[in-house]
Structure 1
Amino acid sequence: MDSNGQYTAKSAYLAQLQANDGDIQEWWDSTLKPLKGKHRRSVAAVIMYTTWNIWKERNRRIFDSNSMTAVQLVHLIQNDILLRRTACGTPFIREDPIVS
């Protein structure tokens, strides 16, 4: 919340920074720890594909002066995951709400 009592993107970002005292390894471990076996590997794969595509979009915007909409980026992530699933049979997350 900003000084006017309103939520902004900046105030949300700052609040998240203040709440996040851990590092990426701690986040990764705490996210995957409760999961087992194939489900754990599938969740890890989805996180990696999502992160990788967000990074590529960042580079596209900075170096190519080109960008996708958020919807286009989500579809690209879904497509990458579906291609991987077709080739390898994974990742598959129970009740895949994102990838259909």
Structure 2
Amino acid sequence: MTMLLQFGRLCDLLENVQLSSDPDVLSWHLTESGNYSAASAYGAMFLGSSPVRGAAQLWKTAAPPRVRFFYWLALQDRCWTGERRHRHGLQPTDACITYDQEPEIIDHILLGCAYSREVWATWMDWLHLPNVDVRPQPFMEWWLSNRKRVDKHFRRGFDSIVFLIGWMLWKQRNARTFDGSTRTARELAVDIRLVTEDWRMAGYRQPGILLSGR
């Protein structure tokens, strides 16, 4: 009985099918032309997903791939900060390694810590960017809002400088945590200035353009 019902349904489906001698044609419904493209297949992976604020600007920033990847992890809150290490039982406290006052989350390392803010303030003074607001807040929000305060001609350079400073703050935090190595905020600011030359030689000229233009 079941087989008869299934056969009946199949007949109903085939009732309006018109056979043709023309060859079969494959059509890709994700493009207007009906032709397959790798770009449309890649885009289909993100259908229904929510865009991550700052991701587009992040991947366009002139910085080495490892630096951009670090910021992608920071954007996802996936960096192994003191807070995360403490949460996983890898260290006894989540306090900031520099001043031992607040939990060491990524936003604190990059902008919230008094040490970090001193480095930023030194650099904003060198760049003559008094409109850039250096105060504790979510780092990516800070970057996206303050880049709009910079002249468009220097904006790409500002992005690179921001990524370089944050990267060096992260490296200094790791050196302090795992090697006991310390640098004063002024010393680190000078070190960052020297690294801009390394970036220039590697093809990332934007930080140097911003410095020379200021």
- TM-score w.r.t. the length of structure 1 is 0.61
Q: Which residue of 1 aligns with 2:159?
A: 44
Q: Which residue of 2 aligns with 1:4?
A: none
Task: Check 1:75–1:34 CA distance in 2 against 1; reply closer, same or farther (3 A cut).
Answer: closer
Give how far 1:73 is off. 1.3
5+ residue gaps, structure 2: 1-98, 102-112, 114-134
Task: Check 1:33–1:59 CA distance in 2 against 1; reply closer, same or farther (3 A cut).
Answer: same
Task: Check 1:25–1:90 CA distance in 2 against 1; reply closer, same or farther (3 A cut).
Answer: closer
Give how far 1:33 is off. 1.7
Give how far 1:74 is off. 1.7
- TM-score w.r.t. the length of structure 2 is 0.32
> What is the aligned counterpart of 2:206 among 84, 90, 93?
90
Q: Distance in 2 between matches of 1:81 and 1:48?
A: 11
Greater per-residue helix proportion: 1
Give how far 1:24 is off. 2.8
After TM superposition, the runs of 4+ consecutive aligned structure 1 residues lying more than 6 A away are none
Query: What is the Cα-based RMSD across aligned positions, in Å?
Result: 2.6
Q: Counterparts in 2 of 1:3-42, with a 5 A limit?
A: 23-35=138-150, 37-42=152-157
Larger radius of gyration: 2
Identical amino acids, percent of aligned pairs: 28
Task: Check 1:86–1:67 CA distance in 2 against 1; reply closer, same or farther (3 A cut).
Answer: same
Q: Which residue of 2 aligns with 1:77?
A: 192
Q: Distance in 2 between matches of 1:37 and 1:68?
A: 33
> What is the aligned counterpart of 2:177 among 62, 77, 90?
62
Q: Distance in 2 between matches of 1:70 and 1:36?
A: 27
SS at match of 1:33: helix
Q: Which residue of 2 aligns with 1:3?
A: none
Task: Check 1:37–1:75 CA distance in 2 against 1; reply closer, same or farther (3 A cut).
Answer: same
Q: Distance in 1 between matches of 2:140 and 2:186?
A: 29
